[in-house]
């Protein structure tokens, strides 16, 4: 495999993880690739506009950097890595908090309601410049925890106040925006939005009339997508350049579908978007980084 747009001579130690202080010295680190930024951002469930706000960057810079048109600033990738660390820690906490349970037993998880509630509950969850992390990162962690607990045999119910939040959290955990999820799952935008946000709705089997139920099929589809991401992350090809590990991904939808024919919805066989492969790479990169290695995510050319 050959890496795309990868100058191996530029790979070197990055600044401290999470250092998002817009110090010009930090922007000298140009060894990150556009695929590093895109994968890390998708991995924490943030759209480009949300990530720009969270890092106090200009949206056009995120867009141009991920398109490969301009150099990727190290502080942006490092900020995403720090957010991923919060998500990983919160995911582990939620799973541990579920304790032991019997097969099929219901586990309830609680999602943070808004940014103010997040700031109060997680006062130390801030960037190095002091800005609070986006509260939706807790939703991503909850979605990941729900997927893992489901794999372990639990029935998961998640709430945000009185609203059932499992659909929204699971969707964010697999890196999809609302419109993306609605299209992939074959649901009209307005209906999908109502299923995520109407506090009167309950998942199928949770009581209420049939019209007031979020179809369990949607939850099952998002569970299957997370299962694919988890399995694929463990099997992604990884190369080594010096003391740096390189996780390889595919950046072509047709090629992605050829290599991963199983990456389709159960309902009607709609192919997953290739962004889920970038998300899998972000999870794998985070696991490798915990061993102390530098990690990059690169697009492989056959």
pLDDT score for 11: 34
- The answer to whether 74 and 14 are in contact (CB under 8 A) is yes
User: pLDDT for 174-183, tens place per residue?
Assistant: 999 999 999 9
DSSP state at residue 70 = S
- The answer to whether 222 and 267 are in contact (CB under 8 A) is no
Mean pLDDT (the chain) is 86
Residue 124 pLDDT greater than 60, yes or no? yes
Q: Is 146 exposed, middle or buried (0-12, 13-18, 19+ CB in 10 A)?
A: buried
Between strands 244-249 and 294-301, the pairing is parallel
Burial per residue of 223-238, b for 16 or more beta-carbon CB atoms within 10 angstroms, e otherwise: bbbbebbeebbeebee
DSSP 3-state percent helix, strand, coil across the chain (nearest 5): 50, 15, 35
Residue 5 pLDDT greater than 50, yes or no? no
Q: Map out the domains of the chain as residue ranges.
A: 2-301
- The answer to whether 216 and 204 are in contact (CB under 8 A) is yes
Q: How does residue 200 score in pLDDT terms, banded at 50, 70 and 90?
A: low
Rg for the chain, CA atoms, rounded: 19
- The answer to whether 236 and 286 are in contact (CB under 8 A) is no
- The answer to whether 158 and 113 are in contact (CB under 8 A) is no
Residue 291 pLDDT greater than 70, yes or no? yes
Between strands 155-160 and 106-110, the pairing is parallel
The predicted model gives 138-167 an average pLDDT of 94
CA 279, 282, 284, 287 torsion-angle sign: negative
Strands (E), 122-279: 155-160, 163-164, 202-203, 213-214, 238-241, 244-249
Higher pLDDT, 263 or 162: 263
Name the residue with tokens 């992604």.
236
| Predicted TM-score (pTM) of this structure | 0.86
pLDDT score for 74: 92
User: pLDDT for 202-219, tens place per residue?
Assistant: 554 444 444 446 788 999
Residue 258 pLDDT greater than 60, yes or no? yes
The CATH number corresponding to 2-301 among 1.10.3100.10, 3.40.50.300, 1.10.3720.10, 3.40.50.1100 equals: 1.10.3100.10
Residue 231 pLDDT greater than 60, yes or no? yes
Determine the number of helices (DSSP H) and then strands (DSSP E) in the chain. 12, 9
Rounded Cα–Cα distance for residues 284 and 281 (Å) = 5
Enumerate the β-bridge partners of residue 155. 106
């Amino acid at each position: 495999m050959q890496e795309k747009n990868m100058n191996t001579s530029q790979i070197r130690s990055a600044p401290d993880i999470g250092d998002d202080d817009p110090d010009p010295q930090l922007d000298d680190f140009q060894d990150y690739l556009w695929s590093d930024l895109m994968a890390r951002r998708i991995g924490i469930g943030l759209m480009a506009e949300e990530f720009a706000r969270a890092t106090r960057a200009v949206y056009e810079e995120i867009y141009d950097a991920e398109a490969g048109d301009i150099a990727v600033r190290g502080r942006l990738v490092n900020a995403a890595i720090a957010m991923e660390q919060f998500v990983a820690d919160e995911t582990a906490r939620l799973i541990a908090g579920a304790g032991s349970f019997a097969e099929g037993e219901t586990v309830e998880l609680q999602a943070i309601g808004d940014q103010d509630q997040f700031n109060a509950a997680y006062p130390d969850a801030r960037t190095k410049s002091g800005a609070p992390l986006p509260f939706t990162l807790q939703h991503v962690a909850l979605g990941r925890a729900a997927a893992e607990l489901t794999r372990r045999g639990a029935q998961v119910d998640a709430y945000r106040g009185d609203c059932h939040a499992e659909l929204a959290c699971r969707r964010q955990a697999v890196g999809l925006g609302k419109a993306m999820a609605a299209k992939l799952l074959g649901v009209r935008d307005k209906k999908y939005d109502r299923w995520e946000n109407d506090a009167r709705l309950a998942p199928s089997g949770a009581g209420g009339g049939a019209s007031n139920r979020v179809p369990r099929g949607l939850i099952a589809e998002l569970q299957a997508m997370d299962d694919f991401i988890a399995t694929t992350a463990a099997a992604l090809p990884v190369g080594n350049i010096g003391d740096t590990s390189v996780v390889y991904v595919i950046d072509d939808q047709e090629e992605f579908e050829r290599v991963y024919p199983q990456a389709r919805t159960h309902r009607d066989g709609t192919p997953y978007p290739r962004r889920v492969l970038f998300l899998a790479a972000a999870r794998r990169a985070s696991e490798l980084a915990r061993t102390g290695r530098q990690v990059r995510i690169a697009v492989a050319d056959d």
